[in-house]
Amino acid sequence: MGFIAAGDGAQIYYKDWGIGEPVVLSHGWPLNSDSWEAQMLLLASNGYRCIAHDRRGHGRSTQTWDGNNMDTYADDLATLIETLDLREVTLVGFSTGGGEVARYIGRHGTGRVAKVALVAAVPPFMLRTPDNPGGVPVEVFDGLRAGSSADRSQLYRDLADGPFFGGNRPGANPSQGMRDAFWLRCLQAGHRNAYECIAAFSATDFRKDLDAFDVPTLVIHGDDDQVVPFEVGGKASAARINGATLEVYPGAPHGITDTHKEQLGNDLLQFLMRTA
């Protein structure tokens, strides 16, 4: 565990567990690398080197005023990979982290990348626009911004109790501990950073980034995801990425790193072990 310096001097926290082929995991908004703990424990215990960083403005990394956008997030990820001199790395991105991974490939290529996994990820393009009519209306993201400004702590409580883990669905009962951990991790993010990141994950168009994918890619998405709808996220990404494999989790919500952690960990492990 330690820090690397980004191009503008921002300190980016990262953890580095295990020995073996490298796997880099990028977290969702407005969480931090701790949200990957179940998958990192499993993969590192099975012969992989797992590295996860806190995106700038999140967790233990510097709460910068500037740079809260996908280009900078991707460049920070590149700095991490190059500083640790990682090669033949598998990139795994959850939600906003999937956008970070996609933009990394769009800006830096796949020279150091062996495989990619997108988990409930925001690509190819969340926002509804004239050329993306199936996207999510801007009013949804304006609501997140309004909630963040009015009472950020309660916003995160409401997300944890409702759509993130599917707790608003009949029969669903995410644990109090799971919801508390989400809230705690969210509040570690800087206020401005989390606010600006809403635009970064919702209004960044990743379609050209996905066109640059030329390595084996696994797309995993729940078909009851109320945060990144399956049709907008996983289904659309898998259709756009050449040769991608799509795994659909029936009835699963957005927060599958927690609600489906065993299934997700095993699917990632099988993907890593796959030779072609």
Half-sphere exposure of 151 (CA within 13 A, CB side): 5
Are residues 94 and 26 in contact, defined by beta-carbon separation less than 8 angstroms?
yes
Strand pairing report for 11-17 and 2-5: antiparallel
Is residue 46 within 8 Å of 72, Cβ to Cβ? no
Neighbours of 249 (CB within 10 A): 22
Whether 260 is catalytic? no
Which one of the listed residues 26, 95, 202, 237 is annotated catalytic? 95
- 139 C-beta neighbours (distance < 10 Å), count: 9
How many Å apart are CA 32 and CA 151, to the nearest integer? Answer: 20
Answer yes or no: 148 catalytic: no
Whether 118 and 220 have beta carbons less than 8 Å apart is answered as: yes
Give yes or no: 254 in active site. yes
Catalytic residue (choose from 254, 258, 260, 267): 254
Question: What CA–CA distances, in Å, run from 70 to 9, 190, 230?
Answer: 17, 17, 21
The terminus-to-terminus CA distance of the chain in angstroms comes to 32
**Cα 90 to Cα 42: distance, rounded to the nearest angstrom:** 15
Classify residue 54 by its DSSP letter: P
Catalytic residue among 75, 225, 258, 267: 225
Task: Give one DSSP letter per residue of 184-240, joined into a string.
Answer: HHHHTS-HHHHHHHHHHHHH---HHHHHT--S-EEEEEETT-SSS-TTTTHHHHHHH
Which residues participate in catalysis according to the annotation?
95, 225, 254
